[in-house]
Structure 1
Amino acid sequence: MKTAGFFLSAALLLSACASPSPSPDAQLNSRIKQDIARTAGIGNASGINVESSRGVVVLTGFLETEQQRQDAAQAALKVSGVQQVFNNIQVFKPTSSGQ
């Protein structure tokens, strides 16, 4: 009987310590970021911030060309669960440091 109580207590303790699963919005943000990073011509998506709420996505950050900006929005729109994309990404081509 004591052994059963020990295992029950241990199971309850472990379930209480388990980290909560990410919210649906956080999961969606992650999938969008991954798909943008896999899109040809965009390269590293670290310059793009993704925020979503109930399928509405806001993209912010910087990319070097208008085509990259448009491709990022299209990649986000293709992700399952995305209903609308607001593309607030800015086009900014860095200047060389030698000038």
Structure 2
Amino acid sequence: MSDLIEVRIHGQLFRLRAGTEKDHVRELAAYVDDVMDKISRQSGSPSVERTAILAALNVTDTLFQLQRRVDTSNHAVDERITRLVALSDRLLEG
């Protein structure tokens, strides 16, 4: 039983090992394909290498933005938990 799947990214066929996550890998490939196609249309550059690098930067920027949001949310949750614990301690003492 083969774990290989075929996906097309920016017009090129790739055979990838996907294990049990075949649908997930297809979804990732479709996302990369969409990003590369959008960048290629916007930049007008025929260079696949340039398009791939710009796509990688775009995806990395999105990842970093989401990581900052998660970090900010986690910090806010931690602060709220600290306040709630302090409040519950005061209520239990009083």
Of Structure 1 and Structure 2, the greater strand share is in 1
**Structure number, greater radius of gyration:** 2
Q: Structure 1-normalised TM-score? A: 0.28
Bigger RCO of structures 1 and 2 (CA < 8 A, at least 6 apart): 1
